[in-house]
Structure 1
Amino acid sequence: MTETDKNIGSHLVAILEKEFSGTCAASEDIETGNTKNKSDALWKIDPIDGTINFSRGIPLYSVSVALERQGQPVLAAVYDPFDNVILIATSDRRLISYNRDSRSFIRNAPTRPNVRDVNSSLISVMITPKMSTHARALSYALIEHSVRHTLGVRILVSHALEATYLARQRLDAVVVLEGKDGWTWSTAALFARASGGRAFSISDRKTGRPGLLLSSRSKLAEFLTEWLETVDLKCLEER
């Protein structure tokens, strides 16, 4: 965590609770007490999703805010500083983009359906030192399987940003075989569904640890889920 994480988190918590009365806000990197019993509406903030990238000057990070009502995500907003764009996804599958340079809105974009086949797909896979040895080994195996059948694999390590790349058709799938659920996964799933894609929760049958799969198209989702099942990972589609 950096001081910037703390400053952004504190700033957004204060703004959201002031502007949207009757809601609570919590930041991933700030202790704000127990918010679960204060309101049915909770803003969940990841002030910098991709902190290591940010701290090293790698422009692959984002600011993520999601609104949950009674534990269910209804709205997500992600700021991409590199493109200076704010993207918004809603539970009724609307997708909105706001370009801060041109001050212009684009609703329900992109309008063109993603028609790439599996061979021309680009996949993002998460690998970090925080993952178990078992999960890292499966991730390496997934990368090997994917590079044989797709355009290639990228490791970006910013769930929310990767989800917006899926919506913007820069990526075709995002796979996290093990991680901590909560702060950016609900955001990511909203973007996948709002852009016409599919979202799956992953569960390791051996360890029970959670994961996430986002796919822009059904054929690619089937390609990935079929392989995941062969290594004893359960995939359940989220609606």
Structure 2
Amino acid sequence: MQGSANLNLMIKAARKAGRSLVKDFREVENLQVSTKGPGDFVSKADREAERLIKEELLGGRPTYGWLGEETGGAAGADPTRRWIVDPLDGTTNFLHGMPHWAVSIALEHKGEIVSAVVYDPAKDEMFWAEKGSGCWLNDNRRLRVSGRRAMHEAVFATGVPFGAKSTLPAMLQDLARLMPATAGVRRWGAAALDLAYVAAGRFDGYWERELSAWDVAAGILLVKEAGGMVEGLRKGQDPLDGALIAGNDGLFDAFAGVIRG
């Protein structure tokens, strides 16, 4: 696995957190769980994973800024660089014993994501990318988005709003327009992995609303470096704002046209 010193640090941190999470996942029924809001859970495992990642990343790069799901944001002495971290994307899957969740780490430089890691510990799949160097899986498998060009052959992924989220009516309208034209839509409950799967050609496209930067920062670079396209749900919107569309280049315009109505 050839990468920069920063990327190697990110991979080391992701694996360290992954080992901790797998240990807790095996004893998921014993986890102490509190609630942050309806349908939005946080566990001891989640907080411990972020602590381990933060310790590793800021230990190696103490001047960088930080944005984490559990501990929030903090400016660094270097204002141009920031870690963006989701220690456990797919928390609800994790807490229900479903092995589909991931550690997501991105490095932002001057407002642009330049390095990305999405690690699925349950399947031991490490998706990684650096700007200009392609997207890779584990040690040496280069990833490309799918080559499908027909909507009726394509499978798309999304996230269905839960709990107190307000965008369910819009999502139902999306589904009503999209599903008749496709081979299927999947809702697997982990945005970082949805984007990684687009990069790997497993999904042909993905869209979602009401996300946070830490959910998607790493995945955005994975898709772009795999030859795909990522845009905000509305034209001109920054995908890091939490509403985005991602897909292969051949289907993107048709897919985005359906979602944007």
Please give the TM-score of this superposition, normalised by the length of structure 1.
Answer: 0.81
Distance 2:221 2:255 in 1: 20
1:20 aligns with 2:20: no
Correspondence for 2:162: 129
Which shows bigger deviation, 7-16 or 113-122?
113-122
More helix by proportion, 1 or 2?
2
Correspondence for 2:244: 212
Which shows bigger deviation, 38-47 or 65-74?
38-47
Correspondence for 2:224: 193
Q: Which amino acid aligns with 1:4?
A: A
- Deviation of 1:128 (Å): 2.1
- Deviation of 1:210 (Å): 4.9
Distance 1:82 1:158 in 2: 13
Deviations along 1:61-114, one digit per CA (max 9) or x if unpaired, are 11000001122211110101232011112222511221xxxxxx115334x852
**Taking every aligned residue pair, what percent have the same amino acid on both sides?**
21
- Counterpart of 2:211 (choices 148, 157, 180) is 180
Correspondence for 1:224: 255
Distance 2:193 2:242 in 1: 20
Q: Which amino acid aligns with 2:63?
A: G
- Deviation of 1:188 (Å): 1.9
Correspondence for 2:190: 158
* Aligned CA-pair RMSD: 2.4
Correspondence for 1:147: 179
Correspondence for 1:4: 45
Correspondence for 1:233: none
CA gap 1:197/1:131 in 2 versus in 1, 3 angstroms? farther
1:43 aligns with 2:74: no
- Counterpart of 1:108 (choices 109, 120, 142) is 142
- Deviation of 1:152 (Å): 0.4
- Counterpart of 1:68 (choices 79, 88, 108) is 108
CA gap 1:115/1:228 in 2 versus in 1, 3 angstroms? closer
Please give the TM-score of this superposition, normalised by the length of structure 2.
Answer: 0.75
Distance 2:111 2:141 in 1: 26
Q: Which amino acid aligns with 1:151?
A: A
Kept after mapping to 1: 8 A contact 2:64/2:76: no
Distance 1:167 1:228 in 2: 20
Please list, as runs of the form range in 1=range in 2, the aligned pairs for 1:78-93 lying within 5 A after superposition.
78-92=118-132
1:138 aligns with 2:170: yes
Kept after mapping to 2: 8 A contact 1:125/1:139: no
Distance 2:119 2:224 in 1: 18
Q: Which amino acid aligns with 1:28?
A: E
Kept after mapping to 2: 8 A contact 1:198/1:214: yes
Distance 1:193 1:60 in 2: 23
Listed as ranges, the gaps of 5+ residues in structure 1 are 99-104, 231-239
Kept after mapping to 1: 8 A contact 2:65/2:74: no
Count of residues in correspondence between the two structures: 216
Correspondence for 1:117: 150
Listed as ranges, the gaps of 5+ residues in structure 2 are 1-41, 236-240
